Amino acid sequence: MKKQLLFTLAFLGAITFASAQTEISFDETGTDIQSFTVGQQSSDDLDEGILTAGGTGVAVSNNSFMGIRSDTPTDDGATGTWIFTISTTSTTAINATLDLDMAKRPGCSVSGTVSVSGYTATPFSFSSDGTDVSAVMDTPIQFGSIISLVNGSPLTVTITLNEMLNIDNTATSIFRLENVTLERNGSLSVEEVSTNNTVANISPNPVTNSFQIHSNKRIERVELYNITGRLIKTFNEEANYNISDLSAGIYIANIKTQLGSQTIKIVKD
């Protein structure tokens, strides 16, 4: 089926909606939390131009979201992409979290990545949760790094859907993007960033000199951020993660595995 999908891509290319709006701007004098709507209404901040459906994916346009669906119930690899740009007029760097309000049909599964130019991509994977094709499940994704915005350096966000598996659902979108939210000086969530069955915990916490990570998935990398979002340390998988050289305070550990990432707040004594 993979070869067939590549064959289809080669001949069909991509289905792209024309658009005038693929950029959002974080207002430096606005509120700390700013949300941007997605859809085909004139009032929406991001419209049809952010969506490209490749291969057998079919683009779905709606007043309150942009989505992608499969063409047939037996399709086992529809793909799609959303691309937009974030900018600001602030001459002082703004550190912010990036949250994506997304949703999927319970009877379908999807995997992919969220990437921001200059940062490590955040993978995600949502499994099938039943066969009800009329319901919609919220599947929020938080980008795994604090992003820094400053005037003259816009950031490109790419949401890639690598594979969408379909269960008898051809009339409505399998996966949809509804809102994009930026939070000034926000902290990465202490909960799991993406629902990918990655479960990790840290001990001891609070930490004096070092800590251990207990995870049900193999750890590829651990990134440690301070509370302002600046990357402090990067680790490979280790038995003990030494932070004895760090000052007392609160830090955020972004634990990356092959299937996704999870963020955990660490208190350093």
pTM, two decimal places: 0.65
- Look at residue 107 and tell me whether its pLDDT is greater than 90: no
Fold of the CATH domain 199-268? Immunoglobulin-like (2.60.40)
Q: Which of 25, 176, 164 lies closest to 100, judged by CA? A: 176
Q: Report whether 265 contacts 252 (CB < 8 A).
A: yes
- Look at residue 192 and tell me whether its pLDDT is greater than 80: no
Q: What is the pLDDT of residues 79-104, one digit of tens each?
A: 889 999 999 999 999 999 999 988 88
- Look at residue 143 and tell me whether its pLDDT is greater than 50: yes
Q: Where are the domains of the chain?
A: 24-184, 199-268
Q: Which residue has the higher pLDDT, 175 or 3?
A: 175
- Look at residue 197 and tell me whether its pLDDT is greater than 60: no
* Residue 1: per-residue pLDDT: 38
* Residue 9: per-residue pLDDT: 29
* Residue 172: per-residue pLDDT: 67
Query: Hey, do 24-184 and 199-268 end up sharing a CATH topology, with the first three levels equal?
Result: no
Q: Report whether 100 contacts 24 (CB < 8 A).
A: no
Instruction: Count Cα neighbours of 140 within 13 Å in the Cβ-side half-sphere.
Output: 11
Pick the CATH number of 24-184 from 3.30.450, 3.40.1000, 2.40.30, 2.60.120: 2.60.120
Average pLDDT over the chain, rounded to an integer = 78
- Look at residue 230 and tell me whether its pLDDT is greater than 90: no
Confidence of residue 191 (pLDDT cuts 50, 70, 90): very low
Q: Report whether 122 contacts 141 (CB < 8 A).
A: yes
Average pLDDT over residues 68-87: 81
Average pLDDT over residues 153-180: 81
- Look at residue 64 and tell me whether its pLDDT is greater than 80: yes
Q: Which residue has the higher pLDDT, 181 or 215?
A: 181
| β-bridge partners, 124 | 112
Q: What is the pLDDT of residues 36-59, one digit of tens each?
A: 999 888 888 998 888 888 777 888
Q: Which residue has the higher pLDDT, 131 or 32?
A: 32
Q: Which residue has the higher pLDDT, 129 or 206?
A: 206
Percent residues over pLDDT 70 in the chain:
78
Neighbour count for residue 162 (Cβ, 10 Å):
16
- Look at residue 7 and tell me whether its pLDDT is greater than 60: no
Q: What are phi and psi of 158, to 5 degrees?
A: -125, 120
CA–CA separation, 13 and 6 (whole Å): 10
Under DSSP, the state recorded for 188 is P
Average pLDDT over residues 3-21: 36
- Look at residue 267 and tell me whether its pLDDT is greater than 90: no
- 119 contacts: CB under 8 Å, gap ≥ 6: 143, 145, 147
